[in-house]
């Protein structure tokens, strides 16, 4: 008898992380199901790309609709559910906090409830964010020429750093983060929370509010002036998407990560500031990029770098693609998709 394929359900499966995850798991023999409401720019293009390259079962659903989301989960009973759907920007959460709450808090709660009631053997990976740590105000920061840095011995943020749910986005994602953890404790669900730093790569239709690495690379490629909010010395650690989806597959096979939380990013070696990224792009594009500074955005961290020592120790995972290699891949992708990406630059 032929062994049936393992089923993966990806919410936000037509988004950047979701579509890359679907492609990668399909290549490893999984049966792919995705849920997406197709509300974000680029999601329809990503869905078309998925349908051209893999067998995919698509459901146009918003996760805030419990009736519809629960029917799909009850029907599929996936071995693994990776929850990538949600409102993803601080700025939009400030202008429309109700939509942010419905998307991130209620959406995640609905999925957890559906798993609890109809598919309690499903492993659940929740995509969280470094924003649950707020502006990292407990850490002393020094200001260098082109970047901020952490003062003292601790140069990165680990999972024991106190939560500080700053901004509506931080609050809604923090609620989802903690509900995921507690559903494992109370209802014995197999859950993992991954608190991501900056993820970048191909199929990321970056916008000004989110996906800053790819957005600045797109602006540079097309010779457009770059906007910087704040002084440009803000630092993040960057992780290329291929390294993240490989981690998802590793977590799917592990039985020792139940009710675990991990900080995931590129780590100290792959950290950079906005100004440093522009300098790198100057060299790669062989041009001097023009930029203009604007006021700081609410809740913006001067510096955030993931301490990835826990995931390294427990799952023997670490980033393989450095920033320069990753940016070369992004530039090549932009070159191949110029017409579609140009649409993003239109008002």
Q: Rounded CA gap, 83 and 81, in Å?
A: 6
pLDDT of residue 208: 60
Residues near 190 by Cβ (< 8 Å), separated by ≥ 6? Answer: 121, 122, 123, 124, 184, 258
Q: Mean pLDDT, 10 residues at a time, over the chain (347 residues)? A: 78 94 96 94 88 96 96 97 91 91 96 98 96 86 92 90 92 96 96 96 75 91 90 95 97 84 97 96 93 84 94 96 96 90 72
Structure tokens at 211: 């996906």
Beta strands at 56-60 and 31-36: parallel, antiparallel or unpaired: parallel
Spacing of C-alpha 80 from chain mean position = 18
pLDDT of residue 241: 97
pLDDT of residue 52: 94
pLDDT of residue 209: 62
pLDDT of residue 152: 82
pLDDT of residue 88: 84
pLDDT of residue 1: 42
Cβ–Cβ < 8 Å for 212, 206:
yes
Task: Say which CATH architecture domain 7-345 belongs to.
Answer: 3-Layer(aba) Sandwich (3.40)
Cβ–Cβ < 8 Å for 86, 13:
no
Which of 169, 183, 240, 262 does the annotation list as catalytic?
169
Cβ–Cβ < 8 Å for 329, 243:
no
Q: Judge whether 169 counts as a catalytic residue.
A: yes
Q: Where are the domains of the chain?
A: 7-345
């Amino acid at each position: 008898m032929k062994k049936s394929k393992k089923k993966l359900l990806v919410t936000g499966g037509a988004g950047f992380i979701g579509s890359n995850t679907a492609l990668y798991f399909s290549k490893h023999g999984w049966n792919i199901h995705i849920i997406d409401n197709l509300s974000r720019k680029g999601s329809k293009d990503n869905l078309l790309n998925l349908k051209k390259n893999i067998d995919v079962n698509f459901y146009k659903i918003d996760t805030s609709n419990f009736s519809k989301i629960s029917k799909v989960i009850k029907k599929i009973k996936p071995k693994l559910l990776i929850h990538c759907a949600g409102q993803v920007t601080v700025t939009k959460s400030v202008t429309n906090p109700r939509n942010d709450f419905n998307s991130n808090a209620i959406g995640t709660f609905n999925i957890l409830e559906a798993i609890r009631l109809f598919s309690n053997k499903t492993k659940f990976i929740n995509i969280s964010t470094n924003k649950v740590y707020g502006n990292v105000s407990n850490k002393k920061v020094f200001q260098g020429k082109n970047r901020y840095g952490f003062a003292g011995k601790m140069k990165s943020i680990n999972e024991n750093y106190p939560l500080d749910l700053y901004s509506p986005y931080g609050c809604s994602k923090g609620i989802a983060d903690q509900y995921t953890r507690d559903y494992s404790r109370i209802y014995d669900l197999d859950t993992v929370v991954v608190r991501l730093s900056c993820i970048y790569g191909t199929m990321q239709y970056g916008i000004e509010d989110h996906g800053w690495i790819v957005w600045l690379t797109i602006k540079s490629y097309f010779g457009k002036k770059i906007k910087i909010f704040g002084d440009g010395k803000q630092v993040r650690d960057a992780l290329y998407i291929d390294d993240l989806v490989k981690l998802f597959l590793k977590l799917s096979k592990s039985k020792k990560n139940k009710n675990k939380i991990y900080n995931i990013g590129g780590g100290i070696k792959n950290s950079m500031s906005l100004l440093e990224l522009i300098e790198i792009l100057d060299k790669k594009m062989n041009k001097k990029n023009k930029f203009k500074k604007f006021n700081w955005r609410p809740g913006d961290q001067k510096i955030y770098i993931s301490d990835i020592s826990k995931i390294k120790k427990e799952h023997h995972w670490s980033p393989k693609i450095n920033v320069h290699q990753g940016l070369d891949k992004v530039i090549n992708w932009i070159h191949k998709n110029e017409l579609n990406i140009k649409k993003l630059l239109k008002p």
